[in-house]
Structure 1
Amino acid sequence: MINNIFIGKSLLETITSALYENPIILFREYVQNSADAYKKAKNDGYASIDDFDINIKIDKSNACITITDNGYGIYTTADFEKKMINIAMSDKLDRSQYIGFRGIGRLSAMPFCNSLEFVNKKKGSAQLDKCKWDGSKYRNLLNSDATDLQSFFDIVKSIVEVSSEASDGAIDDHYFKVIIKGYSPEIAEVIESANFKQRLKKMLPLKYSDNFKASQKIIEKYNQFMSEAFNDFAYSVKLDGEELLKNYSDSKHVLESDIVFWEITGKAGPKKEPGEKIGIMWFTFNKKPIANNDDNDYGILVRSKNVLMGTNDTFADLCENSKEHISTYRELTQALRGVYGEMLINSTNLKDNARREWFKTDDNSYYLKCIIISFMKSLHLYRYKASKYFNNKGPENKKLLKEALINLVDIDTNNIDVNSFYDIEKSDDSNQDNDEIQSYLYATEDIPRQSKTKKKTYDELMVIIQEFFEKEGQFDMFLKLRAYVKKAFN
């Protein structure tokens, strides 16, 4: 009989340190744990809490972070001890309802602190359940030269302490608290960075701001297509008492196209039955796509259950790693800088990878990748044809612009007035120079020091040359020619 299981301490390091190398990720992990615990309580029959929120408090002077939710906590002391000590065991069976499901994010702060404490308060109980993981002992264990093999029980026992004590609050109080004490310089650096709050706003499963009235259109579309409530994945999260909201606003992030949609459906079944509805994509762009001034929210942000996957450039990254060539990586990222939007995904067939950078590689994630590549082809084509049309508003270019627009957007479903796309409203003075610089498809990258007249001529010639090589099926030859001309100019 096997009496004990021995594991290498390096496995514990992999579960904690290796999966969470970027310390900002710990905020995502603890917020999603609070959100999932509250949702599970509701599914178990507990009443909704009107003012449910998750509050992040940072005490810089004492290097302490406290993340508290006012949910129902863990129902029994026995369950609390089991959940706090076990690793990679989760009772979230229905993955479509819960953000996390692996049971390992709870330890994401371990590599970055002296101690990690969990405090549980149940309604109707005068007791606090507490569990403390000793971060200093954890690091000493990983850095020691001792024999690598120990029983898992012995490893956990050496760094974990479970206890209970009397609560000094009201008996009907209920909450769950994560306390990260003595956080590391890596966390301090993240917190002190100028864009810390913006990064949290982008990463976490937040509500839309009241300043983004277009969000009602997005929520209604999601609810109608997905037959579920988007707001079930949008939470009130506060940073030092200030509610964090998605960064979108009508004034900055609704462009000339208004909000338009793609409906995202998964791969069809073996008998050609319709694929699963996996989400919607909303986006907005200008008639003549140019790079926008906002550096934080550009592109299509992919969200699984409203939590960020990847980066602003994920769509371009997927294209770069594809055998199907659309354009250079820089031009694809420039195209993304001309749009704002989100792909809102919830699918039982798409499983987030361990780092939540993307989905696990399988037929379903590959199919989604193909949809994204198709979108990028359409976006690049529209950007290309729009630039050509607005440089020469001839009838043929007008026709090609319309075809590119129809390829990018379902004009009937989205109530698009095609004729409105043939004219550009005059830009305000503050954006005039930026618009002019960014309107070139090739010249900004290829001949940045040349005059505006030469840049315009260069772009017009490159567009014609690209069309020729595309018709001949020799796009690689166009890239070689372009590289040669670029070198000659510089």
Structure 2
Amino acid sequence: MEISIGKFTLESLTTGMYNEPESCFREYIQNAVDSIDVAVQEKLLTIEESRIEIIIDDERKVISVKDNGIGICGNNARKTLLDIGNSNKLHTVNRGFRGIGRLGGLSYCRQLSFCTTVKGEDIKTIVTFDCEKLRELLIPGQGDEHTLQSVIEAVTTVNVLEEQEAAHYFIVKMEDVDDIASLLDLDMVKDYISQVAPLPYRKNFYWGGTIRQDLEAKGVLIAEYPIFIGRSFEHLTQLYKPYKLTLDVSARAGVTKDEVNGISFFNVIDDEGVALAYGWYADSEFSGTLADERLSGIRVRLGNILIGTAKTLSPYFKESRFNGWVLGELYIVSPNLIPNARRDDFERNDTFAQFENGVRATVGSEVSDKIRAASKARNNPAAKAIKKAGKVISQAETILTTGFNSSFEKEQVIKDLEAIKRELRIIPKSVAPEVTQQKVQLIQTIDELGETVTQSVNYRAKKTITSDFSKAEKKIIQAMLEVLTRNFARETVDSLYNEFLNEIKTKGKK
């Protein structure tokens, strides 16, 4: 018996599969990084030399996604790009593995093309889909004689052109893009990709190094790729994950500010103690829901590409809303946790059930408890003062170790210590004995620390400015630090000063 696959299967794999237009960017990016990984493995380039370039030309209504990965050879290009749901990729190695992701853009443009070549060949292959004709053939009652295969043949063309032998790339091009889908909104696309793609952390999110170091110690290498976006190749901006140190929070008193005070790590394991995922989240005051939706929620990642949304893990918290109070990531390591075709969740199996239980038992419970404890502390002046004192002491100790950025910063540290000591002293005697004991110990610590700060001459500039600078130049650098510390938070000053030193080391002192 001859079996025929109906043409409407294609509609299910495009519009039906990717109901969010921006998903096509995720699909094309994950195919690009898979191609780059192969190129790196074959020593064609390094990760640092790799590049993904995304052009959003809203005037011409054209979108392109280009990578300098391995590419596809001429003999295989036609079959690889026209086969549907037939891929030789493995889910344990590659991000994309079902052979349908490249169809993501079919529903949102009039023409979709793929252009590719490999190093050593003097040709490039261009496979083009006539999306408008495709939509006509998928209208019920039109072209009923067509099967899935004959529709593909009817709407595609394959051209082979000359190319330089040194070239290797893959380019996706969407032309006459439907602007109703907001795919041409550069800012919206940037926000989407910054949350979804395998990007590096920003330099001024200095906890990124701590996260990488901890996860690498557990055998998890966070794959990061240089991705650039703009309206033309002449005006490209590199993208980063959106995480930052200061958080806008929607609380009862309105929008307030929280600070990232540290990073907590957690492991999700199965019933036999085997790791399924490793994660981190930012410790803060947990004052309320994060106002910036790009940050809120612990994001699930596989191959450093987002699975699901910011709310995917919400059902596993004691109160689902608490997931929106925290930022963090959970990196999947188990090969038995397999993304579904839409990458909005995982296939249901025994491992996934254990994963759910593990998330509930770890971060879902832990963060919920911290949020409730923080809420109690905010409503308890004594507990609030003691917690604040611990934070001020920790900051002062850190600055003592790294060195003062300026005399202004040194004076500010002394003022902060004196201010928190006054808050501790007004804690009433009627509090619990253990609170009184904490109060006495903290005041003693602050007194000792204040004396150390007052006597310290440990200034960062003295340690980092080399001896080949003149006295005049050293004074200029110190004056720069004085101005910076009067106008910016320490984290920003640290970042700017480090960039300044790197600039000197890279280009030389003039």
How does the TM-score come out when normalised to structure 1? Answer: 0.71
Corresponding residue number in structure 2 for 1:250: 245
Q: Does 1:378 align with 2:371?
A: no
Query: Does the aligned pair in 1 maintain the 2:286–2:374 contact within 8 Å?
Result: yes
Any runs of at least 4 consecutive aligned residues in structure 1 with deviations exceeding 6 A, and if so which? 421-425
**Cα deviation, residue 257, structure 1:** 4.1
Query: Does the aligned pair in 2 maintain the 1:212–1:248 contact within 8 Å?
Result: yes
Aligned counterpart in structure 2 of residue 183 of structure 1, from 166, 177, 183: 177
Mean Cα displacement is larger for which, 238-247 or 367-376? Answer: 367-376
Report SS of the residue matched to 1:19.
coil
Q: Specify every segment of 5 or more residues in structure 2 that has no aligned partner in the other structure, as ranges.
A: 231-235, 249-257, 393-510
Corresponding residue number in structure 2 for 1:78: 75
**Cα deviation, residue 122, structure 1:** 2.1
**1:238-284 residue CA offsets vs partner (Å, 9 max, x unmatched):** 1121111111133459945401100222x23xxx4x32x23321111
**Cα deviation, residue 90, structure 1:** 1.3
Q: Choose 1 or 2 for highest CA Rg.
A: 2
Q: Does 1:314 align with 2:302?
A: no
**1:369-398 residue CA offsets vs partner (Å, 9 max, x unmatched):** 22222332332233223322442368xxx7
**Cα deviation, residue 191, structure 1:** 3.0
Mean Cα displacement is larger for which, 233-242 or 26-35? Answer: 233-242
Aligned counterpart in structure 2 of residue 229 of structure 1, from 215, 221, 233: 221
Aligned counterpart in structure 2 of residue 353 of structure 1, from 340, 345, 348: 340
Corresponding residue number in structure 2 for 1:434: none
- Determine the C-alpha separation between the residues in 2 that align with 1:244 and 1:204: 9
Name the aligned partner's letter for residue 265 of structure 2.
Answer: F
Q: Percent identity?
A: 26
Aligned counterpart in structure 2 of residue 123 of structure 1, from 115, 119, 122: 119
Report SS of the residue matched to 2:116.
strand
- Determine the C-alpha separation between the residues in 2 that align with 1:116 and 1:383: 48
Name the aligned partner's letter for residue 29 of structure 1.
Answer: E
Name the aligned partner's letter for residue 264 of structure 1.
Answer: V
How does the TM-score come out when normalised to structure 2? Answer: 0.68
Corresponding residue number in structure 2 for 1:154: 150
Corresponding residue number in structure 2 for 1:339: 326
Aligned counterpart in structure 2 of residue 104 of structure 1, from 77, 100, 107: 100
Inter-CA distance 174–193: structure 2 relative to 1 (3 Å threshold): closer
- Determine the C-alpha separation between the residues in 1 that align with 2:379 and 2:324: 21
Corresponding residue number in structure 2 for 1:192: 185
Query: Does the aligned pair in 2 maintain the 1:222–1:280 contact within 8 Å?
Result: yes
**Cα deviation, residue 140, structure 1:** 0.5
**1:276-330 residue CA offsets vs partner (Å, 9 max, x unmatched):** x2332111132454334434202211112111122222222455xxxxxx34xxx
Corresponding residue number in structure 2 for 1:457: none
Q: Specify every segment of 5 or more residues in structure 1 that has no aligned partner in the other structure, as ranges.
A: 320-325, 402-418, 426-490
Q: Does 1:388 align with 2:376?
A: yes
Corresponding residue number in structure 2 for 1:173: 167
**Cα deviation, residue 131, structure 1:** 0.5
Map 1:87-486 onto structure 2 (within 5 A): 87-93=84-90, 95-146=91-142, 148=144, 150-167=146-163, 170-187=164-181, 189-192=182-185, 195-225=188-218, 227-230=219-222, 233-240=223-230, 241-252=236-247, 255=259, 257-265=261-269, 267-268=270-271, 272=272, 274-275=273-274, 277-287=275-285, 289-318=287-316, 326-327=318-319, 332-333=320-321, 335-374=322-361, 375-392=363-380, 420=387
Name the aligned partner's letter for residue 165 of structure 2.
Answer: I
- Determine the C-alpha separation between the residues in 2 that align with 1:98 and 1:126: 28
- Determine the C-alpha separation between the residues in 1 that align with 2:142 and 2:97: 33
**1:449-488 residue CA offsets vs partner (Å, 9 max, x unmatched):** xxxxxxxxxxxxxxxxxxxxxxxxxxxxxxxxxxxxxxxx
- Determine the C-alpha separation between the residues in 2 that align with 1:392 and 1:50: 51
Query: Does the aligned pair in 1 maintain the 2:34–2:96 contact within 8 Å?
Result: yes
Name the aligned partner's letter for residue 379 of structure 1.
Answer: V
**Cα deviation, residue 341, structure 1:** 1.1
Inter-CA distance 45–239: structure 2 relative to 1 (3 Å threshold): closer
- Determine the C-alpha separation between the residues in 2 that align with 1:372 and 1:421: 30
- Determine the C-alpha separation between the residues in 1 that align with 2:376 and 2:247: 26
**1:334-363 residue CA offsets vs partner (Å, 9 max, x unmatched):** x23432211122321100011111111122
**1:74-133 residue CA offsets vs partner (Å, 9 max, x unmatched):** 1x212111101101111113x232111111001110111111111112223321211111
Query: Does the aligned pair in 2 maintain the 1:84–1:131 contact within 8 Å?
Result: yes
Inter-CA distance 256–107: structure 2 relative to 1 (3 Å threshold): closer
**Cα deviation, residue 55, structure 1:** 0.3
Corresponding residue number in structure 2 for 1:433: none
Inter-CA distance 164–224: structure 2 relative to 1 (3 Å threshold): same
Corresponding residue number in structure 2 for 1:439: none
Inter-CA distance 85–293: structure 2 relative to 1 (3 Å threshold): closer
Query: Does the aligned pair in 2 maintain the 1:6–1:150 contact within 8 Å?
Result: no
Report SS of the residue matched to 2:102.
helix
Query: Does the aligned pair in 2 maintain the 1:222–1:279 contact within 8 Å?
Result: no
Name the aligned partner's letter for residue 98 of structure 1.
Answer: N
Query: Does the aligned pair in 1 maintain the 2:127–2:159 contact within 8 Å?
Result: yes
Mean Cα displacement is larger for which, 214-223 or 290-299? Answer: 290-299
Inter-CA distance 357–384: structure 2 relative to 1 (3 Å threshold): same
CA RMSD of aligned residues (A): 2.6
**1:59-79 residue CA offsets vs partner (Å, 9 max, x unmatched):** 1121111111112211x2121
- Determine the C-alpha separation between the residues in 2 that align with 1:318 and 1:381: 13
- Determine the C-alpha separation between the residues in 2 that align with 1:385 and 1:214: 24
Query: Does the aligned pair in 1 maintain the 2:9–2:148 contact within 8 Å?
Result: no
**Cα deviation, residue 421, structure 1:** 7.1
Report SS of the residue matched to 2:289.
coil
Aligned counterpart in structure 2 of residue 20 of structure 1, from 11, 18, 21: 18
